[in-house]
Structure 1
Amino acid sequence: MPKKQQSIPDDDPDLAALLTTLDEFLRSRELPVGELLIEFFAVHGSTRPASDAYTLVDNLSFTAHRYRRQATESPQD
């Protein structure tokens, strides 16, 4: 059974923009963000720090996309 999608919370209309900004930052090639995220996971005990870092970035990207899509589909007051 597919999971029911949650709609964007009414009290946080800028969530799609925030997630998009974070996604762009984490995927930045100008800064060593990816390497630092891998190091973060390693320091915090991850047995697969690179995989965990890339999975986090991908999940954020998919979530940002979903919220952007919902924001464009939702009627604005």
Structure 2
Amino acid sequence: MYFCQKETGLKHQLFLAPLQGYTEAYFRNAFYQSFKDFEGALSPFIPSGLGLKVKHSRIHDLWKERNKGMPVEP
């Protein structure tokens, strides 16, 4: 979790930071249901580059249908 400031004011926003192996969509949804003050979440890192394979589950984890109510930034 971390705080950031909006450009328009001093209100702090709370985002769920990625933790490898813990912050998949199921965890984010459960966490959001318990703590509604979060503005969003950052997805776990998805490697990109030549020759690297990306698991389909990582991409599916970003779908809006799997992240109910909480915006997720890749």
Bigger share in helix? 1
Length-normalised TM-score, structure 1:
0.28
Task: Say which structure, 1 or 2, has more relative contact order (CA 8 Å, 6+ apart).
Answer: 1
Length-normalised TM-score, structure 2:
0.29
Greater Rg, structure 1 or structure 2?
Answer: 1
